[in-house]
Amino acid sequence: MRRALLAVLLVAAAGVAAGAARADATPEVSTNWAGYAALAADPTVPVTFTDVTATWREPKGTCTTGRVSSAAFWVGLGGYDPSSPSLEQLGTSVDCDGASRTPTHSAWWELVPAPSVRIPLRIEPGDTITAAVLVQGRRVVFSLKDLTRQTRFSKVVAATQALDTASAEWIAEAPSTCSSFTRCRVIPLTNFGTVAFSSIATIGNAHPGTLSDPLWRISPIELIANGRADALFGGDVLGPGVGAVPGAVSADGRGFPVAWARNLAP
Q: Is residue 80 part of a domain?
A: yes
Q: Give the contacts of 179 (CB within 8 A, at least 6 positions apart).
A: none
Q: Is residue 73 part of a domain?
A: yes
- Summarize the confidence of residues 171-180 as an average pLDDT: 85
Q: Is residue 265 part of a domain?
A: no
What CATH code is carried by the domain that includes residue 230?
A: 2.60.120.700
* CA distances (Å), origin 15, targets 44, 223, 256: 12, 18, 23
Instruction: Supply angle C-alpha 120, 124, 129, rounded to 5.
Output: 75
Please give the residue range of the domain that contains residue 169: 2-255
Q: Is residue 261 part of a domain?
A: no
pLDDT digits (tens, 9 = 90+) for 73-83: 999 999 999 88
| pLDDT-derived band at 231, boundaries 50, 70, 90 | very low
Residue 96 contacts residue 67 (beta carbons within 8 Å): yes
Instruction: Supply angle C-alpha 27, 31, 35, rounded to 5.
Output: 45
Q: Is residue 266 part of a domain?
A: no
Q: Is residue 108 part of a domain?
A: yes
Q: What φ, ψ does residue 4 adopt, rounded to 5°?
A: -60, -15
- pLDDT(57) > 90: yes
pLDDT digits (tens, 9 = 90+) for 250-265: 999 999 999 999 988 8
What does DSSP assign to residue 90? E
- pLDDT(11) > 70: no
For residue 53, what is the enclosing H or E element?
strand 49-57
- pLDDT(196) > 80: yes
pLDDT digits (tens, 9 = 90+) for 103-155: 999 999 999 989 899 999 999 999 999 999 999 999 999 999 999 999 999 99
For residue 238, count other CB atoms closer than 10 A to its CB.
Answer: 17
| pLDDT-derived band at 21, boundaries 50, 70, 90 | very low
| pLDDT-derived band at 239, boundaries 50, 70, 90 | confident
Please state, in angstroms and rounded to a whole number, the distance separating the CA atoms of residues 187 and 191.
Answer: 12
| pLDDT-derived band at 185, boundaries 50, 70, 90 | confident
- Summarize the confidence of residues 47-66 as an average pLDDT: 97
What does DSSP assign to residue 265? -
200: three-class secondary structure by DSSP: strand
Residue 220 contacts residue 28 (beta carbons within 8 Å): yes
Q: Is residue 217 part of a domain?
A: yes
Closest CA to 52 of 196, 222, 211: 211
Q: Give the contacts of 176 (CB within 8 A, at least 6 positions apart).
A: 5, 6, 7, 8, 32, 184, 185, 186, 187
Count of structural domains within the chain: 1
Work out the percent of the chain whose per-residue pLDDT is above 90.
73
Please state, in angstroms and rounded to a whole number, the distance separating the CA atoms of residues 192 and 82.
Answer: 26
| pLDDT-derived band at 176, boundaries 50, 70, 90 | confident
**Looking at per-residue confidence, does 184 or 7 come out higher?**
184
Average pLDDT across the chain, whole number: 87
